[in-house]
């Protein structure tokens, strides 16, 4: 059974999903853009017999509070601060983490700041290497280096309905991805202030790229158990980003799946089994 809960953190209501026995190892599931914890709706039941699972919605995403930009700075440092405070409030400071898309820079910030908290990492299209940045990132670098109002406005296309559907469907097996995930994501884009806070995060993503060398240093120094499972047809975070983990963690396991960015939509069962095999030895 999945429980749907909320906690008051730094003055905000933070929504989260919880499943599994609290006596089992905890796994924190960190979602990406433009999604929320609902992206783990199929995975959590498959892992709840082996793990205690926690999946929050970040501020400005899903069912968590979305304060205005005049009240809350939408940066990755700030999102990390709230997630960290949420974990401390729940007394969860020993866990495995599953990082996807935006969840990777948030999760690796936490790992860098609190390496003793991390007992293992699943990176599913959660990039921390230049090698994993697809061709579209060249235009984003231009935006970061020469920001203008017109360039910022162009990035509204990132959460247009057709773009969101494409993120789910492109590279995935035909007829393998249902409409539930992208339909909900599209609905969230219509909430008040959505566009401006997401544009702030698109601009702030440059801080994540600058931190890549420090994330890699964390991996080299601490050698966490690491499973990189990647939708190899992802055009945003391309699969060389998965292979790059082996440069810093030679014992990392890398698995490339024949699907796209939102690999859980088509391969939740496969990914659950890989996690169980890698972290619990279950065949």
Read off the pLDDT of each residue in 27-37 and give the average, rounded to a whole number. Answer: 98
Distance, in Å, from the CA atom of 233 to the CA atom of 239, rounded to the nearest integer, reads 7
**261 is known as an active-site residue:** yes
Q: Which two tokens stand for residue 35?
A: 């999604």
Share of the chain above pLDDT 70, in %: 100
- State the residue range of the domain holding 268: 3-280
pTM higher than 0.85 for the full model?
yes
CATH of the domain at 210: 3.40.50.1820
Domain total for the chain? 1
Using one digit for the tens of pLDDT, what is the confidence trace for 128-180? 999 999 998 999 999 999 999 999 999 999 999 999 999 999 999 999 999 99
In the sheet that holds 3-9, the strands lie side by side as 3-9, 12-19, 52-56, 26-30, 95-99, 118-123, 226-231, 253-257
Q: What integer best gives the mean pLDDT of the chain?
A: 97
pLDDT of residue 283: 59
Catalytic residue among 31, 52, 78, 261, which?
Answer: 261
Residue 21: Cβ-neighbour burial (10 angstroms; 0-12, 13-18, 19+): exposed
């Amino acid at each position: 059974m999945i429980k749907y809960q909320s906690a008051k953190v730094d003055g905000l209501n933070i929504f989260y999903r919880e499943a599994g026995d609290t006596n089992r190892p905890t796994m924190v599931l960190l979602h990406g853009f433009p999604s929320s914890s609902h992206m783990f709706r199929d995975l959590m039941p498959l892992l709840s017999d082996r793990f205690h699972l926690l999946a929050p919605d970040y501020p400005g995403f899903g069912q968590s509070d979305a304060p205005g930009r005049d009240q809350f700075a939408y940066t990755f440092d700030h999102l990390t601060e709230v997630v960290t405070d949420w974990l401390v409030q729940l007394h969860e400071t020993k866990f495995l983490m599953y990082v996807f898309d935006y969840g990777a820079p948030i999760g690796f910030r936490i790992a860098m700041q609190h390496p003793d908290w991390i007992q293992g990492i699943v990176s599913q299209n959660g990039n921390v290497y230049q090698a994993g940045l697809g061709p579209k990132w060249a235009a984003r670098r231009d935006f970061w280096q020469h920001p203008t109002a017109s360039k910022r406005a162009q990035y509204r296309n990132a959460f247009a309905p057709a773009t969101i559907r494409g993120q789910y469907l492109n590279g995935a097996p035909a007829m393998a991805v249902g409409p539930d995930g992208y339909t909900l994501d599209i609905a969230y884009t219509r909430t008040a202030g959505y566009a401006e806070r997401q544009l702030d995060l698109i601009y702030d993503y440059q801080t994540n790229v600058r931190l890549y060398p420090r994330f890699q240093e964390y991996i080299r120094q601490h050698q966490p158990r690491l499973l990189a499972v990647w939708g190899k047809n992802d055009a945003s975070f391309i699969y060389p980003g998965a292979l790059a983990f082996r440069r810093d963690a030679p014992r990392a396991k890398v698995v490339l799946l024949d699907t796209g960015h939102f690999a859980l939509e088509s391969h939740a069962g496969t990914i659950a089994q890989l996690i169980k095999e890698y972290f619990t030895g279950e065949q």
